[in-house]
Amino acid sequence: MISKTMTQTGNGRWKDSAEKGSAMGSTPDSDSKDPRRSDTFESASIADPDSSNADSPVTGWWWFLGAAAGAVLLLDQLTKTWAVRKLAWPPLGDGEVIELVGSLRLRYAENTGMAFSRGSGAGPWIALLAVGISIVLVVFASKATSRTQVILMGVVIGGALGNILDRAFRGNSSGEGGLMSGAVVDFVDVGWWPVFNVADAAIVCGGIALVLFGLREPSGKSHGESPGEDQGEPEIDPTRA
């Protein structure tokens, strides 16, 4: 009704009235027809897409965990099989000692205790502890938010499984053994450290890497701002009105 009355009064008044309305931002299509202004509001209302996944579990975590654990387990068992045939005392093997660099050498040793030839005779209890730790790591891996964490957990699990297999299925040179009472095969001798194997190295190195990685991980959101944070009011250029 107002627009009709203003049209009848003359073109000059209508023009003045339209200019005032535009300056006040009251024209009905001024906001909807300006793509730059609508983009400003849209960008302000949309949060960083990465922030919603910052604390989400790793997709396909079981694949990364299994691949890392399987690779360590395979390498451990292959090297132990070679060590038994080449380094073990007769009649199990050739009884060789291979000198490498400096004090580093490869020689056969059996361990009924824990890693690095410690805790002799406590094999069954150590194997039970290793099983428990592996289960805990699987649970943690299912909730981990970093692929690196999952892979490192798989490395530790693979090392634990490698020594568990030895205790479960390998006897020792004296012919004694049994379920979880077998001897773990060690063969890497650095001269100033107890003899160890690939599984021992994976457990220790993987565990240390997990700790260091956890200490370096920043707290809170690692990507962008959380959706609940104040994004601030978008600036509007008055010349666009």
Measured CA to CA, the distance from residue 134 to residue 115 in angstroms comes to 15
Which tokens in the block code for residue 119? 């805790």
Is 29 among the residues known to form the active site?
Answer: no
186 is catalytic: yes
| Dihedral Cα 28, 34, 40, 41, nearest 10 deg | 30
Query: What sign results for the dihedral spanned by CA atoms 223, 228, 229, 231?
Result: positive
Q: Which of 76, 166, 189, 200 is catalytic?
A: 200
Nearest to 152 by CA among 216, 195, 79, 197: 216
Among residues 186, 189, 230, 237, the one annotated as catalytic is: 186
Catalytic residue positions?
Answer: 186, 200
